[in-house]
């Protein structure tokens, strides 16, 4: 039952995080061409404020529940990750998840120092988008790919 709670918390947090990244990359980026710069600046500031307030909690739930799932069910698989396709794909998924966390922590650190440019944020969003696509593909593939 505890595993199910971790799984559901992990899935809902992943939906929020992935949805936010997808929105910023696929929708918000194209709106730039349709709105005046001043309006777009206000939109981005509003979304940015909300994201900065919400995303740390979403990531806390996402990673906390993920760690709980690993602890309850997958530690034996991770003890010898190369012995199965599931273990190898899970390990790769965890490496990508750690990279996502590093992206987030580095961006927060740079923001607090006032050293984040629009170009850097575009790069981070695109990188996170690619990470998220790969993580989702791995999360589903782990249960179907064997070797």
Answer whether residue 147 shows pLDDT above 90.
Answer: no
| Mean pLDDT within 114-137 | 94
Please state the domain extents for the chain.
2-141
Q: What confidence tens digit (pLDDT) does each residue in 97-111 have?
A: 999 999 999 999 999
- Round the CA-based radius of gyration of the chain to a whole number and report it: 17
Q: What confidence tens digit (pLDDT) does each residue in 38-68 have?
A: 998 899 889 989 998 999 999 999 999 999 9
> Is the Cα torsion angle 86, 88, 91, 93 positive or negative in sign?
negative
Q: How confident is the model at residue 118 (pLDDT cuts 50, 70, 90)?
A: confident
Q: What is the C-alpha end-to-end distance of the chain, expressed in Å?
A: 31
**Using an 8 Å Cβ cutoff, are 101 and 63 in contact?**
yes
pLDDT at 76: 95
Residues 6+ apart with CB under 8 A from 91: 78, 81
- Nearest-5° Cα angle at 49, 46 to 50: 90
């Amino acid at each position: 039952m505890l595993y199910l709670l971790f799984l559901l918390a992990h899935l809902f947090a992943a939906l929020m995080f992935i949805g936010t990244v997808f929105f910023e990359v696929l929708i918000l980026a194209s709106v730039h061409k349709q709105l005046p710069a001043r309006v777009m600046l206000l939109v981005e500031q509003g979304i940015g404020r909300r994201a900065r307030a919400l995303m740390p909690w979403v990531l806390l739930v996402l990673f906390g529940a993920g760690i709980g799932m690993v602890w309850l069910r997958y530690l034996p698989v991770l003890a010898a990750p190369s012995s199965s396709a599931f273990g190898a794909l899970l390990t790769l998924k965890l490496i990508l998840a750690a990279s996502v966390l590093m992206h987030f922590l580095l961006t927060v650190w740079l923001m607090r120092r006032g050293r984040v440019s629009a170009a850097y944020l575009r790069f981070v969003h695109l990188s996170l988008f690619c990470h998220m696509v790969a993580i989702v593909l791995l999360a589903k593939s782990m249960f179907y790919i064997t070797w």
